[in-house]
Amino acid sequence: MNERRPGLLLLAVIIWIAYFVCAIIFGHSIWFVKILSLASVTLFGILVFIVWKNKESKNELRD
């Protein structure tokens, strides 16, 4: 999926898991759970954007 930035993918997975664990343990009203929620959504958006741009550039090279 993301061969150039495996560290970013790993960070997104770790943040996502940490968010779910903390949300189950502490609930959604704690401030760091809210920050983890925003971080997980932001990192997922960054990864989708990177993959979309890579796919777009590969299609341009092919044409």
- Angle (CA) 10 56 44, round 5°: 30
Name the residue with tokens 């920050």. Answer: 35
User: pLDDT value at position 5?
Assistant: 66
pLDDT of residue 6: 75
For 16, the token pair is 């996502």
Q: Where is pLDDT greater, at 9 or 31?
A: 31
11-62 tens-digit pLDDT: 888 999 999 999 999 998 889 999 999 999 999 999 889 888 888 887 777 7
